[in-house]
Structure 1
Amino acid sequence: MQKKTIRERTHRKCAITGRITGFGQNVAHCNKKTKRTFQVNMHTKRVWVPCLGKFVRVRLSARGLKTLDKNGADFLVTAGVI
């Protein structure tokens, strides 16, 4: 059996929103159902945090990036991500 890489083993969870992989079904025209997963749109982002005075690397979903843009990088500290 082949070992999984570190990227495959890490949990796909957003640090801000907490979104994780969802499960559901593909439904064919004949109404046949097969299992599938809904992956989170994850991005690794290097963010400057002024109150810490350094860059921090965080894994966020697309929604989490929008939240970060809206609230600023200091929000990561108050949210307990860092």
Structure 2
Amino acid sequence: MAISEQAEQLGVEQRLLVRADRDIEEFSQRIRKQEDRVRELRAGGHDTREAERLVDLFKQNLAEWERRRVLIAQRIAYLQRQVAAEQPEAG
């Protein structure tokens, strides 16, 4: 892969990382809100099984996004090393 292609791919991956961070934060907020709903339902004497199930699903999705984020960060590190290795020596 040419250095320009690597640099372009690096930019793409960095944008994906920003998006992954945003998605992770959004999932975290959804989890907190749903946990609040569970507490409200429980306090009102309501059945919370389905609401708790939704919390579990949200947490599974969050874990997937966190794994995806790790892979993106690893790809960025790899591309940064590749781009740095291809840079001409200053001198």
TM-score (structure 1 length as normaliser) = 0.28
Q: Higher RCO, 1 or 2 (CA under 8 Å, sep at least 6)?
A: 2
TM-score (structure 2 length as normaliser) = 0.26
Normalized per residue, which structure has more strand? 1
- The structure whose Rg is larger is 2
Normalized per residue, which structure has more helix? 2
